[in-house]
Copies of this chain bind each other. A is one copy, B any other.
Amino acid sequence: MTKSLLRALKGEPQDRVPIWLMRQAGRYLPEYMEVRSKAPDFLKFCYSPDMAVEVTLQPVRRFGLDGAIIFSDILVIPDALGQKVGFEPGRGPVLEALPGPEAIAALSREGLREDLAPVYQAIGEVSRNLPAEVTMIGFAGAPWTIASYMIEGGSSKDFAKLKSWAYGAPEGLARLFDLLVAAIADHLCAQIEAGAEVVQIFDSWAGVLPEQAFEAWSLRPISEIVSRVKGVHPGVPIIVFPNRAAFYYQRIASSSGADAVSIDATVPLEYARDVLQKAACVQGNLDPMLLVQGGEPMKREARRILDTLAGGPFVFNLGHGIVPQTPPDHVAALVEEVHNWRA
Q: Which of B158, B160, B267, B289 contacts A163 (CB 8 A)?
A: B289
Which chain B residue shows the least CB distance to A167? B293
The smallest C-beta distance from A258 to any residue of chain B, in angstroms, reads: 20
Interface contact A211-B269, CB-CB below 8 Å: yes
Number of contact residues on A: which range applies? Answer: 35 or more
Interface contact B287-A268, CB-CB below 8 Å: no
- A246 interface residue per 8 A CB criterion: yes
Residues on B with C-beta less than 8 A from A266 are 207-211, 214, 246-247
Interface contact A158-B323, CB-CB below 8 Å: yes
The smallest C-beta distance from A321 to any residue of chain B, in angstroms, reads: 10
Complex: how many Å from CA A337 to CA B260?
Answer: 42
- Which A residues from 155 to 199 make CB contacts under 8 A with B? 158-160, 163-164, 167-168
Given A266-B208, A268-B211, also A293-B247 (CB < 8 A): no
The smallest C-beta distance from A222 to any residue of chain B, in angstroms, reads: 17
Interface contact A167-B290, CB-CB below 8 Å: yes
Which chain B residue shows the least CB distance to A213? B287
Interface contact B160-A292, CB-CB below 8 Å: yes
Q: Which of B158, B208, B268, B323 contacts A247 (CB 8 A)?
A: B268
Residues on B with C-beta less than 8 A from A209 are 266
- A273 interface residue per 8 A CB criterion: no
Complex: how many Å from CA A126 to CA B163?
Answer: 36
Complex: how many Å from CA A217 to CA B159?
Answer: 28
Complex: how many Å from CA A129 to CA B269?
Answer: 51
- A90 interface residue per 8 A CB criterion: no
Which chain B residue shows the least CB distance to A207? B266
Interface contact B287-A267, CB-CB below 8 Å: no
Complex: how many Å from CA A267 to CA B210?
Answer: 7
- A265 interface residue per 8 A CB criterion: yes
The smallest C-beta distance from A41 to any residue of chain B, in angstroms, reads: 24
Complex: how many Å from CA A88 to CA B71?
Answer: 38
The smallest C-beta distance from A281 to any residue of chain B, in angstroms, reads: 20
8 pairs across A/B with beta carbons < 8 Å? Answer: A158-B288, A158-B323, A159-B289, A164-B289, A210-B266, A210-B285, A244-B244, A247-B247
The 8 A-B pairs with the shortest beta carbon distances in the complex, nearest first, are A246-B246, A163-B289, A167-B293, A210-B265, A211-B268, A167-B297, A168-B293, A247-B268
